[in-house]
Structures are given as structure tokens and as C-alpha cells.
Amino acid sequence: MNFEYLPASGGAQQELVLLHGWGSNREIWRSLLAPLRPWANITLVDLPGCAPGCDLDVQPQLAQVLAAILDCSPTKAVYLGWSLGGQLAVELAARHPERVAAVITLCSNPRFVATTDWPGMDASRFSAFRAAVMTDPGGALRRFDSLQTAGARQPRRLLRQLPRQGRERASLQLLAGLQWLATLDQRIRLPALTQPQLHLLAEHDGLLPAGLERSLNALLLNTPSARVQVLAAASHVAPLDAPDTVAREIRLFLADAGLLNKSSSPTQTLAKRDVADSFSRAASLYDSVAKLQRDVGAQLLTSLDQLQIVPTTLLDLGCGTGYFYPDLRRLYPGARYLGLDLAQGMVEFARGRVAGEGDWLVGDAEALPLAANSVDLVFSSLAVQWCYRPEHLFAELSRVLRPGGCCVFTSLGPDTLCELRTAWAAVDSHQHVNNFIPASDLASAARRVPGIQLELDNGLFRMEYQRVRDLLSELKTLGAHNMNRDRPAGLTSRRAMQGMLQAYETWREDGVLPATYDVIFGVLEKA
């Protein structure tokens, strides 16, 4: 099952799993991400039997699809389902109550096909539509889009916004979703749910009957944890034409139900803008002093020999000056090369260095400007240490990697420049050396991202200098000097500097001063 895990951009207060409806895919939720992600971790999935282009050898069965959803979802979450996705959310809540904290349905009917005592789509009309899908799945999907946007104030605009991915490969596996629509009857399930439930309907829904609100309220009359609400002026495609309203109602409902956890925003020790500006200024001189970076990258390159991957698309994440472009090209001559760095100056230097070859992008590793499932292999040497939210980094890698894809990376660990750190500690209590994330925190972050496996190893690299000032000058030339937010303001006093230099001299061995780099080697694989 194709899925994405998107950590909250702020402090996470809840896990949300979003299930789309028949004839759609996870792209239907994109407009909702902006108002939801500041406070929620979000899992998006493409549902076999519902999403066009999900290539399967056999017709998907409901129980298998529900199990697959749980496999790629958090241990416990709030499930939000739109249209048929709402019925799937209810099924999960009824069958696996320990995994579902609450159920929210959007433009969904617990019994889609009408009966003598329940409003829904006319049975003969539904049968005719199913016959059309059997004859021409693509054409039936186009007609279905018109049904979904009926009643909207701007149906043509919404038609353009509806997800189109995979429709050219629409197949008869979509009949499975229609079978679920035809047979699922959750009128007994809903009143029996133990979780809080919210049912959002749209005032101008052209696909669901007008009497559904009244019927749902009657059905849930004696269920105090259930709420039915109509979204004014919204159509069946409410995720597209009323995203802010939908997000607001979801948050209010969860707050009333006591399901918003206390927010704990991650501590931002680095300002990304400062990092980008520093490395941009260093681009022209970077390679002249980057011996450590070359040595670490060369060792990382040897790890590629152990991978059973022949990539069609390769991402050099934190490409810097493009130093490793020739080596990566030699290893994978048939692959499309993407070089990406946070620092625009680095990208411009790299682009000029290779005379227009490759594709070069400015971007943040924690918010990659790349499509989902678009990359086979990621190579990243000494860039991860500038990501202070590793869960976001790993979630983005999982998103852009194709199934079976891999990322090899190096990062700096907390013992990096321990000699310099100790020397400064002898003279004051300020933060003079960059703090880096330990391997244990990287491993913990990876465990929170479903669908990936991370293996880590450590190595120590030793650089040698005649004078401490040579080390400080090198760090400045690299653009890797102290960039922590709590670094001391203003210039360091001459007395403090002299004290640090004297303290560092205690590390001198055989006439040289060592500088130790704690290097973490990682291999991340996407299932």
C-alpha cells in the first residue's frame, strides 16, 4: 500500500489517518494539510479497490485492505474518512477499537445504497453505474467526477482540482470498492461504537441525499459520544472546497473529546536560514579545506557497493559544491542525478562546476521539493547533522523513496570536536561548539516513521593541526562555525580566547593538536 507519514510542523497533539473515497487517492487531502499539520501527525494512504492505478494481481478484499491500513498507521490514531473512506474508518473502529481513538466521517453515508427505510443512492442507478465501470472504467470515473462536484458553487474549478493520478491505468479492481459501497451497512455499528464520533455532511452534497442528516441524528439519538454536523455551502468534495472549515471542526471536536495531547514543540537549536547563509558564503573556498568531508564521503561511497539497487533517479542530498557528482555518475551512469542543498550559494557553485549537467535544487531535507515515490537512492554525506527534527527528515525520505529504495548517509555525532568543547568549557559556560544529534535519537526518530528500517554505525575521524587557530579558521572557511541559537552574543573576549587556547594545549600529542569527529553512518531502507 502506498502511503505517506507527515509529522506535525509544530507540536504534535494527535495522530490522524486520512482515508479517501472511491475513485480518488491520497491527493484529495492536500488542501487540508496546511491547517492540520501544525498540530497533527498525518498518515495518507492510497486504498486498493478505490484508488485508480493501484496495480494488483487479485481483487482486493476488504479485510486485507483494512489490515494493510493498520500496518502503515500509528499504534493508535484518529481516523478521518471521506465518502467511502468514512465507512472504512467505521469498520476499523468496530473491528479494531484498540487502534482507533475516534472516528470522523466526511460526506459519508453508513448505508450508501438506499433501502425502504434509509436514504441513499437509488439501487438501479448504482447498478447502472457499476455496469459502466465494468465497460469503461476511465469514462465512468469522469462521469463520477461530475457527480461529486454537483451542487458546488464552482464545479469546474473543483473538477480541475480532483486528483488525476493513475486514471489512465484505471482497471476492474475498482469494482471491489463499489462492492463495499453496495454491501456495507453500518447502521448497527455506529450506535455501538465506544469511541467519540463526528459525522460531517455538506449542505450542497450532490451525491448524498438531503435527508441523511435527519436519519443520522435519529440513529445516534442515544449515543452521547456522537455528533452530526452540516458544513454550510460545502459540496461532496469538501476536502477541496472547504478545507479550513473541515480542519476547524475536526480540531474543535477533538478538543471537546479531550483527544488533543499537550503540545511539546521541538527545540530548534539551529536557524536554517543561518545555516544556509553560512554555507552559501563558504561555497567558493569550501573544497580547499574540506579534507574531512572528502574522507567521510569517500568511505560512504564504498557502502554503495553493498546495495542491490540500480537507480533510475539518484538524489545527492546536501550536495554542497557537487564534489561527489563525478563519483556518483561513474557508479550510476544511467541514473538521473538530482543535487539538492539548503544553501543557494552551494547549488549555484555546483551547477557551474559541472557545466550544466544534472539537475540542481535548493531545498530543505525536512521538506523536500520532490514528488512522492520519485527517488530510488539517496546519498547524503555530512548534511543530516543540520536537521534538528530527524523524524521530519526520515518521513520525507520515506515519502520520496520508491518502495525498496534506500538512503545512505553520514552525520556528525555529539562527540564531534570534543577537544574544542572541553577547552571552551574551561573558561566559560557559553555554547561555542555546535551540538549534534546522537545516534540513539536518530534511531528513535526512525522508529516513529512507519515503513522504514534504519541501521547505524559510528566511526571516529581524527584531524591534526599545529595551532588551534588553524582549526578555527578551517571551520569558518567551511561555513561550519558555531551556529547554535544560544551561542554567545558579540565578540569573545581576548582573555577568554587565550584561556581556551591554553586549555586546548593539554591535548597536544607528538607535536600536533587533534580534533576528533564523531561520524555516524546510516543506511535507511524503505519497505
Angle made by CA atoms 396, 400, 403, in degrees to the nearest 5: 115
**Residues 294, 228: Cα–Cα separation, whole Å:** 61
Is 516 in contact with 417 (CB distance < 8 Å)?
yes
Give backbone dihedrals phi and psi of 43, rounded to 5 degrees, phi first: -115, 125
What pLDDT is stored for residue 487 in this prediction? 58
Residue 127, classed as helix, strand or coil, is helix
- Please enumerate in sequence order all residues whose Cβ is within 8 A of that of 217, keeping only pairs 6 or more positions apart, or say none: 228
Annotation says 236 is catalytic: yes
CATH of region 3-256: 3.40.50.1820
- The domain 272-526: what is its CATH number? 3.40.50.150
Residue in 46, 145, 205, 364 annotated catalytic: 205
pLDDT at 74: 94
3-class DSSP assignment, residue 3: strand
Banded pLDDT at 267 (limits 50, 70, 90):
low
How many Cβ atoms sit within 10 Å of the Cβ of residue 146?
A: 11
Active site residue 295: no
Q: Are 106 and 20 in contact (CB under 8 A)?
A: no
Question: Contact 52/25 with Cβ under 8 angstroms?
Answer: yes
Retrieve residue 146's grid coordinates. 461530475
Q: What is the average per-residue pLDDT within 16-41?
A: 96
Of the two residues 56 and 363, the one the predictor is more confident about is 363
State yes or no: pLDDT of 490 exceeds 90.
Answer: no
> Cβ-count burial of 185 within 10 angstroms (0-12 exposed, 13-18 middle, 19+ buried)?
middle
Asked about 20 being catalytic, the answer comes back as: no
Where do we find the cell 573558561? 427
Per-residue pLDDT, 488: 59
So what's the pLDDT on residue 275? 92
Percent of the chain surpassing pLDDT 70:
96
* Cα angle: 51, vertex 53, 56; to 5 degrees: 95
Cell of 173: 479492481
The pairing of strands 197-202 and 40-45 is unpaired
DSSP string, 23-83: T--GGGGHHHHHHHTTTEEEEEE--TTTSTT---SSPPPHHHHHHHHHHTS-SSEEEEEET
Please pick, among 20, 236, 392, 432, the residue that the annotation labels catalytic: 236
- Is the distance from CB of 35 to CB of 247 less than 8 angstroms? yes
Q: What is the mean pLDDT of the chain?
A: 93
Q: Using CA atoms in the order 520, 303, 346, 402, what is the torsion angle rounded to 10 degrees?
A: -100
Q: How confident is the model at residue 479 (pLDDT cuts 50, 70, 90)?
A: confident
Cell numbers that stand for 376 in this block: 530510488
Residues 451-473 pLDDT 10s: 999 999 999 999 999 999 999 99
> Where in the chain are the domains?
3-256, 272-526
Binned at pLDDT 50, 70 and 90, residue 348 comes out as very high
Helices 175-183 + 123-135 axis angle, to 10: 170
Q: What percent of the chain has pLDDT over 90?
A: 84
Domains 3-256 and 272-526 share a fold: yes
Q: List 313's β-bridge partners, or say none.
A: 336
Residue whose grid cell is 499539520: 37
Q: Is residue 269 over pLDDT 80?
A: no
pLDDT of residue 493: 83
**Could you give the maximum distance between any two Cα atoms of the chain, in Å?**
94
SS3 138: helix
pLDDT at 485 over 70: no
What CA–CA distance (Å, rounded) separates 97 from 67?
A: 13
> Which helix (H) or strand (E) element contains residue 339?
strand 336-341
H or E element, residue 42: strand 40-45
Q: How confident is the model over 160-202, as pLDDT tens digits?
A: 999 877 777 778 889 999 999 999 999 999 999 999 999 999 9
* Residue reference for cell 493508535: 76
Q: Assign 265 a pLDDT band (cuts: 50, 70, 90).
A: low
Catalytic residue among 24, 31, 83, 278: 83
